[in-house]
Amino acid sequence: MKVAGIQWNVRLGDCEYNYAMAEKYIIKAAKQGNEVLVLPELWNTGFFPKNIYDIADEKGNYTQAFLQRLATTLGVHIIGGSVAVREQKRLYNRLYTVTRTGEIVCTYDKVHLFTRGHEDEYFSAGFRCGRWRLDGISMGAILCYDLRFGGWIQKVMNEPCDVLFVSAAWPTKRGMHWDLLNRARAIEHQCYVAAVNTCGSILYGHSQVIDPWGNILVQAGIEDEIIEGVIKPETVVEIRNKIPVQADIRKDLY
């Protein structure tokens, strides 16, 4: 399965520009023969303007229709990163996964809100895992700060996924953590990690695809870029058979 990570400099508060750029890069990535396209975190508004409540997508209706139109027209699956959604007077940092037939197979609200960045003062936290299957491949998703919480990722992976998608707006000053945590999650869960970040003056970029052995297969720089990687489920099976970590977990203790 060919996967493309779409990294770009999301403009803070400029939804019209951001949707236009998302469409441009989705079309480009699809024409390059990729089957699954992955977007970064809060790509509709940026992370995040003070007027985010006013410009958030009401009930996610616009974003859902936008992703469904592109997915069905181009014949691709889209892991929709996340967008700011306004619903019942609350804001959610929400991911949609849309299949090539237009079906929304996952809606995931970010669970861990970044209190240091006051995200919790604007958004409401989710409480469910993001998991689904596409073309026979099991998949899971987390958003940015979730990456730091190994216990949560273990819960997501309780039904082992072949690939974990990470969409983020990760800052440059903590770039080392981004690189190490993504590789650590791939190694400890013996799965592919496809991590897609935004870029810009304070954001790190460096979107990457990592194999279940922890090897970085492809990595972006700090500019707008589409990265491409190949997910091979047979590699996941091979590595899990070689070192059966999941089978050896002491579930009687933790």
Catalytic sites, residue numbers: 41, 110, 144
Residues whose CB falls within 8 Å of the CB of residue 172, separated by 6 or more in sequence, listed in order: 202, 203, 204, 222
- Is the CB of residue 38 less than 8 Å from the CB of residue 3? yes
For 85-118, give one letter per residue: b (16+ CB within 10 A) or e. Answer: bbbeeebbbbbbbbbbeeebebbbbbbbbbeeee
Query: Cα–Cα distance between 83 and 60 in angstroms, integer?
Result: 8
Judging by beta carbons within 10 Å of its beta carbon (0-12, 13-18, 19+), is residue 207 exposed, middle or buried? buried
Closest CA to 164 of 196, 135, 136: 196
For 60-73, give one letter per residue: b (16+ CB within 10 A) or e. Answer: beebbebbbebbee
Task: Give the single-character DSSP code of 199.
Answer: B
CA 5 to chain centre: 9
